[in-house]
Amino acid sequence: MHTTRFVFPALGIALTVLAGAASAATLSVGPGKTYATPCKAFAAAKTGDVVEITGNTIYRGDVCGIYASNLTIRGVNGRPKIDAAGRNAMGKGTWVVVGNNVVVENVEMYGAKVPDQNGAALRLEGTNFTLRSAFLHDNENGILTGANLNSKIVIEYSEFGHNGYGTGYTHNLYIGNVGSLTFRYNYSHDAHVGHNLKSRARVNTIAYNRFSSLNAGQTGSTAAGKPSYEIDLPNAGTSYVIGNVIQQPASNNNPTLLAYGEEGASNPGHDLYVVNNTFLNDNSSSGTFVMVGAQVSKKVLLQNNIFGGTGTLTTQVGAVEKTNYRALAPGFVNRAAWDLRPTANGLVANAGSAPGVSAAGVSLKPGAVYKHVASGSTRSLVKTIDIGAYESAL
């Protein structure tokens, strides 16, 4: 242990700082590393440490609780694969995150199953959590959280696919009644009967994502799912749904794309802002683009959206609708290849209106676009804003 003396002549004072605290450690995981498996490193980790997991390696049955706070966990030299392989931690899932302010980056997780059919790849019990650049698939839940109004959850640049037990009560993501959810630049698809995103957070920022699913019998990065809602915000909450691609497949378990407050609007905020999204309903016989529960006390804002396909625009009488575009088959550069830049159309190009700000003063203007897979880029706004999630190909 040593001390360091700092002198500030202009102030005529000197400070003596004790510099004996140990700095954060980096714990290395993988073949030939200090720790053979991630869970062995988690058990040894202290507050503020970094756990680096060697990628392109499968870690089977490595399930545990994560108790250290301010921990950063990341895959390096490729993406490590965490296969629950029939095991679970505490009857809850693969990794149960108990510590606070934990960050997980660049991991692939699958196979989470528990006896009560509610297992999660990541079960969140601490306060504050960030997931980045991950792929969670074929679990009973991708992410499952409890209620914690002090918690802020950030999920970005990640893919979620074919999670769900198949009862409709498990989902790609289930976010409980937390303080806030920021969900951006993600690809959530093919939930197995459940929802592609369900959140009870008091504040939701859902921006620049793609929600979509394959048709029955198709295979992509996962098998095809048959999802219910693409986005479900069952208890309302101040919610920003901006710049997303929201597609419902022909085969689904519920014809609603976005649901808001349908389980009772118990969150204090009842303001929903749906701005510059591209909605695509591939169910030719039914659908509701934005379903709003009867207890929601404020009128939702629907502005600058493309609504493609059949169905009811919204169930809320008196919803504020501004410069939206509806068509059974809107024109895109290449719909089959998901190039959803609108083709030349005077009803879309330069046809949007300035979104302004929310009641809380948050800008509603889209500043980015979703880029596949699970990424994004800046939205060019050199002229009057176009309608939809992308600027037109003019």
pLDDT in tens, 169-200: 999 999 999 999 999 999 999 999 999 999 99
Does pLDDT of 343 surpass 60?
A: yes
pLDDT confidence bin for 383, thresholds 50/70/90: confident
Q: In the predicted model, what is the mean pLDDT of residues 123-152?
A: 98
Tell me the average pLDDT across 271-299. Answer: 97
Q: Can you give the pLDDT at residue 382? A: 66
How would residue 23 be classed by pLDDT, with cut points 50, 70 and 90? confident
Report, as an integer, the average pLDDT of 36-55.
98
pLDDT attached to residue 22:
58
Residue 317 preceded by cis peptide, ω within 30: no
pLDDT at 15: 43
pLDDT mean over 91-109: 98
Residue 341 has pLDDT above 60, yes or no: yes
Residue 111 has pLDDT above 80, yes or no: yes
In terms of pTM, does the model score above 0.75?
A: yes
pLDDT at 7 over 70: no
Q: Is the pLDDT of residue 376 over 50?
A: yes
Question: With bands split at pLDDT 50, 70 and 90, how would you rate the model's confidence at 220?
Answer: very high
- Average pLDDT of the residues in 57-63: 98
Per-residue pLDDT at 1: 37
Give the tokens for residue 146.
Answer: 């409890």
Joined together, the tokens standing for residue 226 give: 């048959």
Quick one: pLDDT band at residue 20, thresholds 50, 70, 90?
A: very low
Coil vs helix vs strand at 9: helix
pLDDT at residue 6 greater than cutoff 80: no
Band (pLDDT 50/70/90 cuts) for residue 218 is: very high
Average pLDDT of the residues of the chain: 94
How large is the average pLDDT for residues 354-372? Answer: 97
pLDDT > 50? residue 206: yes
Sorted by sequence, the CB contacts under 8 Å of residue 68 that are 6+ apart come out as 42, 45, 46, 47, 49, 99, 102
Give percent of the chain above pLDDT 90. 92
